[in-house]
A and B are shown apart, each in its own frame.
Chain A
Amino acid sequence: METEGDPVGRRRIVLHPATAVARQQDRARSFGGHVRGFTVDGDDIDRLMRRQRLGALRVFAVAFVPLMLLPLVFAFAPDAATFRVGDLPPLAWLALGPVALFSIVGLAFVHARRASMREDDWISGHRDGPG
């Protein structure tokens, strides 16, 4: 906002005072209620964070829990682990190779979609923010 001492001919950007303050505060990282151009408060952020956390934990549980049961299955039913269909590798090799790994990739895609949707949802509830 400083005008004096500007080199002659350089363009000055004039902001609405509220916007200028908001930008300054964002840059200084002091909590002024504005982040990335959105007006937010503590509860609001908490809700967003909790929603995202729950979503991520759910996806993680779907991948993690069955995999953690697998060693028990191998321990109590060793025949299942070494069972072979035709020339394919034994079941344990398939389960710990393509089956587990590609399922995890699929889950990650599902999560990314949902996480982006939750973000869009949140943004559409904050259209009134400055900037």
Chain B
Amino acid sequence: MIPTLAVLGVTLATLVLGTAGLRYARTTSNFFVASRAVHPAWNAFAVCGEAMSAASYLGVPALVLVFGVDMLWTIVGWTLGFLLLSLFIAAPVRRFGSYTIPEFVEGRLDAPRLRPLVAITVIVSSWFFLLAQLKGAGVVTRSLLGTPYWVGVVAVGVLVAANLSAGGMRGITFVQGFQFFFIFLGILVPFSVLSALWWSDDDRDPIITDSTPVFLEATTATYPRTVEIDVIGPTAAVVDGVVDGVAVDGPFAFEAGRHRIGAATTIDWPEGAAVPHREGIEPLTGEEWAAPLGPKGLGSGHPLYFTYATVLASMFGIIALPHIVVRFYTNPTGRQARRTSLWVLAMIAPYYVMLPLFSALGRNLAPDLLSTGATDAATVVVPERAVDGLAAELLSAVVSAGATAAFLSTSSGLLIAMAGALSHDILSAGIPQFRRSVWLAAAVSIAAGLFVETIDINVLIGWSTSIAASSIGPLLVLGIWWSGLTRRGALATVVIGGTVTTGAVLITMFGLVDSGWPRAILSTPAAWSVPLAFAIGIVVSLLDREKVEQVAHKMALLHVPERSDAPKELV
């Protein structure tokens, strides 16, 4: 009951605050960039609200739970990405003063025809990212309220679109700053409780075990969708549902081997039984799980390559994510934008550091997730199982409120980036067009969101970041820091970088290669596609005779500091 109230509370507050933003949002500038008058600290809260998405809040604990320490490279890559933002992107992008990334590309290269192309890239990569958030919404509302998966997807999609079309960027900056506090508390409070448990109770330490996960107590596992599980030895359990196509209601003796469990089946696993892992999830001993570069980890037997690919994809993915970059346009000056990016780093690093504890304790507290495959629920499930009674309810309320804020806030940012690109860069600019674009983008995303239930959140995020990383990323970095970039160079970067990555994503998605190096390379394209995109941009620009005119002035707009930022005695 308390968790449900918490979720409804956050949702209601979001609606009220978003509508309050309506009063302010009267001009286009207000709508897209909040009139560039947002204080650096509040803007940092808003960026954090946006960056702390379902991908980190739910996705990271899930990934680490399944694959172990190697997955920490994801958060290292993201943090490096925010460092890159601070070093190379935040201040110049703000100084150039465009509303959106496509507009920046047009202005920097005098290339109106490149603008819609970049806008499409922005929309596609934001779309995959938004699907991941909507999936998170479906999963969390189901695990909290017991509603079907689609309810969460539709509710969040409609709510965010309504809020955005009312208040625009000004309203949403306010709302996201407020949501940040819920997200941060949603991790900080359970982290404090869980770490106290970790220190006080040696049995909770998952790393010292040399066995694969076992149920430490009798556990009821609910399988939300049909899965195949690998039972290690003969196990007597109590089943209510469908096993291997036969309806069962009562005791059932599982033979060793693979079994098909029907959707909505519940199984009572006895204490001490080895956890039957879902097909595709490799059972790891505590030691294997805690050691890096394990042969059973992700990466098709090429863990070293996979490690580098993960870091590069996460890192470049952050600088190219339009909903993050667009945030710096809302600062008053370049230097303040840089300051915002610093505060973002300072707040997001501790947040990332706390996440793996949920996985570590989850190995013992919620091993059934490895069997049901609902690993994306680890963040919500682990804290409430660590304590009893009212404390469990309260902890669950805090975590659920944070999760709700996480996907609401990120979805808003993504939707504003998509609608901004659609209305400002493809259609004609204006508030009515923006509102229509918001609803169009939301409708398409909700419809697709209903079909991604079986795809892991971080797989969707991986696609999104890889596509953005190998097209928009190099374009931004080269455009800002190299005066030699030409229109043809930019075109080649976006087209070739974007196409090969999307191709690799599709090949993996449809399972056309399933082993060895080809799979390792295609399933993590960013490791090679990002350097390739940079190289293509540079080589084509060097060969191109048609240089951008008055490039010195454009570089000046990017890099000349504002007088108001300098100490008084210098001006």
Which A residues contact B (CB, under 8 angstroms)?
29-31, 35-38, 40-42, 45-46, 48-49, 52-53, 56, 59-60, 63-64, 67-68, 71-72, 74-75, 78, 81-82, 84, 87, 89-90, 92-93, 96-98, 100-102, 104-105, 107-109, 111-112, 115-116, 119-120, 122-124, 127, 131
Contacts and interface: CB of A to CB of B under 8 A. Distances in A.
Interface stretch (B28-36, B77-85, B427-435, B491-499): B77-85
18 contacts: A36-B562, A42-B552, A45-B559, A48-B560, A56-B88, A67-B80, A71-B293, A71-B308, A74-B292, A89-B207, A100-B79, A101-B79, A101-B353, A109-B346, A112-B86, A120-B566, A123-B563, A123-B570
B290 A30 contact: no
Interface in B60-109: 69, 72-73, 75-76, 79-80, 82-84, 86-88, 91, 107
Interface string B95-132: 00000000000010000000000000000000000000
Contacts of A36: 560-563
B80 A75 contact: no
B291 A120 contact: no
Contact of B86 (A49, A89, A108): A108
Given A42-B552, A45-B555, A75 B293 contact: yes
A111 B307 CA distance: 27
Interface residues of B, number: 59
Nearest to B287: A82
A73 B293 CA distance: 11
Contacts of B291: 78, 81-82, 90, 92
A71 B304 contact: yes
A71 B312 CA distance: 13
Interface of B: 69, 72-73, 75-76, 79-80, 82-84, 86-88, 91, 107, 199, 205, 207, 287, 290-293, 304, 307-308, 311, 335, 338-339, 341-342, 345-346, 349-350, 352-353, 356, 360, 481, 483, 550, 552-553, 555-563, 565-567, 570-571
A108 to B, nearest CB: 5
B550 A119 contact: no
Contacts of A67: 76, 80, 311
A90 B290 contact: yes
A97 B338 CA distance: 24
A32 to B, nearest CB: 8
Given A29-B553, A35-B560, A104-B349, A123 B338 contact: no
A30 B483 CA distance: 16
Contacts of B553: 29-31, 35
